[in-house]
Amino acid sequence: MERLQKVMAAAGVASRRAAEEMILEGKVKVNNVIVRQPGFPVADDDTIIVDGNILKKETKVYYIMNKPKGYLSTTSDDLQRRTVVDLIPGKERIFPIGRLDYDTTGVLLLTNDGDFMNALIHPRFKVEKEYHVKVTGLLRKEDSSRIGKGMNLGDFISQPAKVFDVRYDDTKTNSYAKVIISEGKYHQIKRMFEMVGHPVIKLTRARFGNMTCEGLKQGEFRRLKPHEIKQLWNLSCFGRQGE
């Protein structure tokens, strides 16, 4: 069940506030009965009529994308830079779930389901995210273990992370590593490596929970399968309420 004004807003008839006004003014019918109560719960199969027109409800869509470099993880940009949303044609108003930096590639989920998005970006949602990094210089054991223990990044202390599969390039100039964190603070991976003196040159998110970009080239996307959506709901803070 969803709140009436929320369904109206998602269908693009009006903002939530304006939808509430319309409901109070008696312009909205649910199953042919005028409803004057904002917040009235409606089910998927209820027929909603607004000002005499049947409301076309927005269907919920869920995507996984392999985010390419040079795209913002936002819906629009004042500077007219390209956004990840531009890559997915369709009439639904979708949003990225969390952010990847402009120059970061890899797993990004997008949806028009606000509840799903909120459940996955909630601070209680502590799902693993695996990143693959290329950093300047040779990453030593002590650097990895500092990152691994959790570190003071000024405005917050990162939780313990797992750094593994460290290797050096042929000329021993740069290093590659894999990192797993369960948080998602702004520029977190870049700040952690910067802090140990090895700025990030290249960053990819290889995994979000159990989702990877297998089979997707950069810039490609696909719809999530029903069982994948279910698994993510189960991992989310709502799925974990009993813990």
Q: What residues make contact with ligand URA under the rule CB under 6 A?
A: 100-101, 104, 187-190, 203
Q: Which is nearer to ligand URA, 3 or 187 (CB)?
A: 187
Alpha helix segments (H runs only) across 43-171: 114-121, 141-149
Rounded distance between C-alpha atoms, residue 160 and residue 186, angstroms: 17
Q: How far is the CB of 52 from ligand URA (least distance, A)?
A: 47
- The whole-angstrom separation of Cα 174 and Cα 147 is 17
Residue 129 · residue 218 · CB < 8 Å: no
Closer CB to ligand URA, 58 or 101, in the complex: 101
How far apart (Å, rounded) are the C-alpha atoms in residues 34 and 57?
18
Least gap, CB of 3 to ligand URA (angstroms): 33
Q: Is 155 a catalytic residue?
A: no
CA distance 45 to 73: 33
Interacting residues of 180 by C-beta distance below 8 A, sequence separation 6+? 128, 129, 130, 131, 161, 162, 164
| 67 and 74 Cβ atoms separated by less than 8 Å | no
Query: Least CB distance from residue 206 to ligand URA, whole Å?
Result: 11
* Smallest distance, ligand URA to C-beta of residue 156, A: 13
Sign of CA dihedral 109, 158, 153, 198: negative
- For the bound state, the minimum distance from the C-beta of residue 95 to ligand URA, rounded and expressed in Å, comes to 16
Q: What percentage of the chain's residues is helix, strand, coil (to nearest 5)? A: 25, 30, 50
Among candidate residues 101, 113, 143, 165, the one labeled active-site is 101
Q: Annotated catalytic sites, by residue?
A: 101
